[in-house]
Chains A and B, each alone.
Chain A
Amino acid sequence: MFKKVMLAAIVCLSAAAVAADVEVVGTVASKCVVTTDTSGVYGNPSPSVLSTAAVDAGVEPIVRFDVIQAGFYKAKISSPNTFSESPVLNDVVNWTGDVSVGEVTDASMSAYDTSKIVYDNITEVDLTVAGSTWFKVSSQAAYGYDKALPAGTYRAVISAECIAK
Chain B
Amino acid sequence: MPYIMLLMVLFGGHASAHQFTPTYPELESSYVSGVLKTTMDLFNSRKDVSYYEIGVFDGEWNGVPFATESRIVKIDYLRRKKIDIFIRESDRAKAVYICSKSKLLARGSAVTSISSRICSKIK
* A residues at B contact (CB < 8 Å): 29-42, 52, 61, 63-64, 66, 72-73, 80, 84-85, 103-105, 137, 139, 153-165
Contact = CB atoms under 8 A, between A and B. Distances in A.
Interface in B54-113: 97, 104, 106-113
B32 interface: no
B118 A30 contact: no
Given A31-B19, A31-B21, A40 B111 contact: yes
Given A34-B117, A158-B115, 16 more contacts: A29-B23, A33-B18, A35-B18, A36-B15, A36-B16, A38-B11, A41-B110, A64-B17, A103-B7, A104-B4, A105-B1, A153-B109, A155-B110, A157-B104, A159-B114, A163-B118
A38 B3 CA distance: 17
Contacts, number: 123
A42 B4 contact: no
Contacts of A52: 112
Contacts of A84: 104, 106, 113
B9 to A, nearest CB: 13
Nearest to A69: B23
B46 interface: yes
B117 A160 contact: yes
B120 interface: yes
